[in-house]
């Protein structure tokens, strides 16, 4: 009797959720037609998916530094004292995306961690190594250590085929209470004004997402990975029905780079700077609505220039998909596979045209990254010469000159004096800084005063620091 009833339920599930197996076929979607359909269960999908969702524990050792120890008089009378160590822990979720033990989570879950552990749904724990971190998308890939078994993994769905109203489930470890499943619908697609990562293109859902869910799975009714839960909008710190997930198509790109052995994600480079279309610009161009991405400038000899893209062109689509703003274009372009071309729809002088842009990476020769070790205000800063690839990563103009800070240790002298990631060092003591070797040389000269010119957020700042 039980077997017969279970067969009937599974059959009803297949019928009731058939609309979600093919998201492109909107006409097949329907609401439940009887009380019996309302009693259907998500349990078969959860049982299949849950083993591939994991808990991620990250630990970081920090020094409890007493600021009084900076005073030589205090040290003389009270001694140097011991710097006490404290372990900071963070908790999040992750998803196994390859049976060899590759796990995707958020960068902010494991940022700065000295040790990362992954706990499976069956309570087993594994140490994990960080294979790749991509701060631009807030995605990180981990690999489980010292294991040769095959793990359950989730397949990717095509997130471009999702539609508002599709039923989804969020699985993760909210507040550290243990693995939890919530369900809801896709509330919106292509959210581009969230301000979380470089690639502003998120799936919005009302499935309950809370602290600890970061890095967990958003799955569709096929049991496939639709996105990685990343952030919530909240006034209280808890779920208020607005959660954001990174689409699966972006996750797929990051995982592919990790499988290929890369330490950084390689993406196509357009070689052009885009800007949003304001109502005033739309009116001047004779547009009915302010949509699309306006080309502000084009890098000479870049892919866009070679394809014939020009300043003042309006990009309205890519490979048949509409582009509403520059963030939407950045996401669409970044998720295209390298090699081949992308078809760009352009409005030029009110007339439509199509351009084929080559999908190739930005030139990155001459980066010459180094960590400044000389005793100076720059000590502990990782710096890079500005190549086209660096300019693309940091959203700088292609003709930007100087040396940019790409990384700072939390307790480094450079961080303590106030330098920030993304600062462009232009001059040091009136000496022009054009490449990292120039800064290394300038930092190696002992100075009583350091006069530094830098650019932060497009604004030039003059700083004077004591030696």
Please count the other Cβ atoms lying within 10 Å of the Cβ belonging to residue 25: 13
Please provide the distance, in angstroms rounded to a whole number, between the alpha carbons at the two ends of the chain: 84
Q: Which token pair is 166?
A: 């599709």
Residue 455 φ then ψ, to 5°:
-120, 125
Question: Of the residues 90, 93, 137, 138, which is catalytic?
Answer: 138
Alpha carbons 373 and 329: distance in angstroms, whole number: 40
Question: Of the residues 214, 239, 376, 412, which is catalytic?
Answer: 214
Burial class (CB in 10 A: 0-12, 13-18, 19+), 401: middle
Rounded to whole angstroms, what are the CA distances from 256 to 158, 215, 285?
A: 15, 17, 40
How many Cα atoms are found within 13 Å in the side-chain-facing hemisphere of 343?
Answer: 7
CA 332 to chain centre: 14
Question: Of the residues 90, 108, 325, 330, which is catalytic?
Answer: 108
Helices within 273-353 (DSSP H only):
279-285, 303-307, 326-334
How many Cα atoms are found within 13 Å in the side-chain-facing hemisphere of 24?
Answer: 5
Find residue 460's DSSP bridge partners.
455
Q: Kindly give the interhelix angle for 248-259 and 326-334, rounded to the nearest 10 degrees.
A: 40
Tokens 């509409």 — which residue? Answer: 322
Q: SS3 for 184?
A: strand
CB 226 within 8 A of CB 203: yes
Q: SS3 for 7?
A: helix
To the query of whether residue 214 is one of the catalytic residues in this protein, the response is yes
Rounded to whole angstroms, what are the CA distances from 446 to 72, 377, 402?
A: 22, 11, 21
Within 8 A by CB and 6+ apart from 87, the residues are 59, 60, 61, 62
Catalytic residues: 108, 138, 214
């Amino acid at each position: 009797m039980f077997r017969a009833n279970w067969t009937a339920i599974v059959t009803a599930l297949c019928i009731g959720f058939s609309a979600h197996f093919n998201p492109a076929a909107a006409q097949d979607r329907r609401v439940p037609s009887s009380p019996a359909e309302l009693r259907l269960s998500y349990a078969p999908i959860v049982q299949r998916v849950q083993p591939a969702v994991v808990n991620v524990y990250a630990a970081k050792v920090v020094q409890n530094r007493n600021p009084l120890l900076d005073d030589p008089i205090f040290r003389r009378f009270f001694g140097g004292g011991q710097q006490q160590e404290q372990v900071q822990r963070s908790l999040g979720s992750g998803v196994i995306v390859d049976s060899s033990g590759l796990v995707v989570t958020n960068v902010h879950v494991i940022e700065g961690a000295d040790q990362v552990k992954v706990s499976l749904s069956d309570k087993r724990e594994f140490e994990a190594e960080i294979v790749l971190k991509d701060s631009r998308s807030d995605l990180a890939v981990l690999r489980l250590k010292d294991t040769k078994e095959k793990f359950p993994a989730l397949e990717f769905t095509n997130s471009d085929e999702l539609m508002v109203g599709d039923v989804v489930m969020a699985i993760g470890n909210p507040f550290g209470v243990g693995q939890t499943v919530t369900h809801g619908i896709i509330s919106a697609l292509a959210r581009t004004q969230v301000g979380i990562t470089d690639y502003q293109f998120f799936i919005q859902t009302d499935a309950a997402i809370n602290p600890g869910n970061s890095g967990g799975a958003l799955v569709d009714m096929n049991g496939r990975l639709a996105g990685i839960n990343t952030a919530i909008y909240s006034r209280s710190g808890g779920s208020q029905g607005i959660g954001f997930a990174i689409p699966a198509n972006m996750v797929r790109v990051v995982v592919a780079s990790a499988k290929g052995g890369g330490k950084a994600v390689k993406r196509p480079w357009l070689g052009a700077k885009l800007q949003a279309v304001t109502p005033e610009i739309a009116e001047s161009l004779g547009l009915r609505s302010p949509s699309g991405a306006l080309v502000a400038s084009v890098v000479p000899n870049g892919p866009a220039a070679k394809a014939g893209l020009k300043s003042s062109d309006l990009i309205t689509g890519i490979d048949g998909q509409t582009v509403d703003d520059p963030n939407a274009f950045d996401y669409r372009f970044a998720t295209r596979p390298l090699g081949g071309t992308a078809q760009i729809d352009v409005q030029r002088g009110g007339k439509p045209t199509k351009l084929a842009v080559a999908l190739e990476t930005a030139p990155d020769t001459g980066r010459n990254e180094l960590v400044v070790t000389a005793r100076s205000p720059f000590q502990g800063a990782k710096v890079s010469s500005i190549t086209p690839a660096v300019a693309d990563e940091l959203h700088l103009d292609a003709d930007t000159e100087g040396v940019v800070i790409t990384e700072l240790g939390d307790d480094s002298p450079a961080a303590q004096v106030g330098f920030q990631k993304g600062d462009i060092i232009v001059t040091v003591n009136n000496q022009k800084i054009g490449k990292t070797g120039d800064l290394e040389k300038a930092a190696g000269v002992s100075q009583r005063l350091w006069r530094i010119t830098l650019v932060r957020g497009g604004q030039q700042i003059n700083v004077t620091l004591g030696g």
